[in-house]
Amino acid sequence: MHFADALVRSIKAKESALCVGLDPQLGKVPKFLVERVIREHGETMEAAAEAFIAFNKGIIDAVKDLVPAVKPQLAYYEEFGHQGIRAFEETCAYAKQQGLLVIADGKRNDIGSTAEAYARAFFEPNLFGKFQETSVDALTVNGYLGFDGINPFLKACGKDKGIFVLVRTSNPSSGDIQDRITADEAMSMAELMGHFVESWGSDLEGEEGYSSVGAVVGATHPVQAERLRAILPKNFFLVPGYGTQGGTAEDVAACFNNDGLGALIVQARGIIYAFAEEGGLANGENFAEAARNATLKMKEDVNRVR
Residues known to be catalytic: 107
Residue 14 in contact with its own copies, rule: CB under 8 A: no
How far apart CA 111 and CA 148 sit, in angstroms, is 7
How many C-beta neighbours within 10 Å does residue 208 have? Answer: 17
Kindly calculate the radius of gyration of the chain based on its CA atoms and give it in whole angstroms: 19
Q: Which residues make beta-bridge pairs with 165?
A: 141, 215
Are 208 and 5 in contact, with CB atoms under 8 Å apart? Answer: yes
Closest CA to 249 of 203, 305, 196: 305
| Cβ 296 to its own copies shortest distance, Å | 25
Residue 30 in contact with its own copies, rule: CB under 8 A: no
Residue 108 in contact with its own copies, rule: CB under 8 A: yes
How far apart CA 102 and CA 71 sit, in angstroms, is 6
How many residues contact its own copies, by CB under 8 A? 76
Q: Which of 15, 35, 40, 78 binds its own copies (CB under 8 A)?
A: 78
DSSP character string of 7-63: HHHHHHHHT--EEEEE---TTTS-HHHHHHHHHHH-SSHHHHHHHHHHHHHHHHHHH
Residue 39 in contact with its own copies, rule: CB under 8 A: no
How far apart CA 38 and CA 44 sit, in angstroms, is 8
Residue 128 in contact with its own copies, rule: CB under 8 A: yes
Q: Which of 7, 18, 48, 228 binds its own copies (CB under 8 A)?
A: 48
Is the Cβ of residue 157 or residue 261 nearer to its own copies in the bound state? 157
Residue 130 in contact with its own copies, rule: CB under 8 A: yes
Residue 51 in contact with its own copies, rule: CB under 8 A: no
Is the Cβ of residue 50 or residue 306 nearer to its own copies in the bound state? 50
Are 266 and 291 in contact, with CB atoms under 8 Å apart? Answer: no
Q: Which residues make beta-bridge pairs with 21?
A: 71
Residue 131 in contact with its own copies, rule: CB under 8 A: yes
Q: Which residues inside 155-184 make contact with its own copies, applying CB under 8 A?
A: 166, 169-178, 180-184
| Cβ 109 to its own copies shortest distance, Å | 5
Q: Which of 5, 61, 65, 79 binds its own copies (CB under 8 A)?
A: 79
Q: Which residues make beta-bridge pairs with 216?
A: 166, 238
User: With CB under 8 A as the contact rule, which of the stretches 20-28, 247-255, 276-284, 291-299 interacts with its own copies?
Assistant: 20-28
Residue 196 in contact with its own copies, rule: CB under 8 A: yes
**What is the length of the chain?**
306
Residue type at position 49: A
Residue 202 in contact with its own copies, rule: CB under 8 A: no
Is the Cβ of residue 13 or residue 177 nearer to its own copies in the bound state? 177
| Cβ 269 to its own copies shortest distance, Å | 9
Residue 109 in contact with its own copies, rule: CB under 8 A: yes
Residue 117 in contact with its own copies, rule: CB under 8 A: yes
What residues have CB less than 8 Å from 125, skipping those under 6 apart?
A: 131, 132, 135
Is the Cβ of residue 11 or residue 33 nearer to its own copies in the bound state? 33
Is the Cβ of residue 4 or residue 216 nearer to its own copies in the bound state? 216
DSSP character string of 227-261: HHHHH-TTEEEEE--BSTTSB-HHHHGGGS-TTS-
Is the Cβ of residue 36 or residue 120 nearer to its own copies in the bound state? 120
Residue 144 in contact with its own copies, rule: CB under 8 A: yes
Q: First CA to last CA across the chain, in angstroms?
A: 25
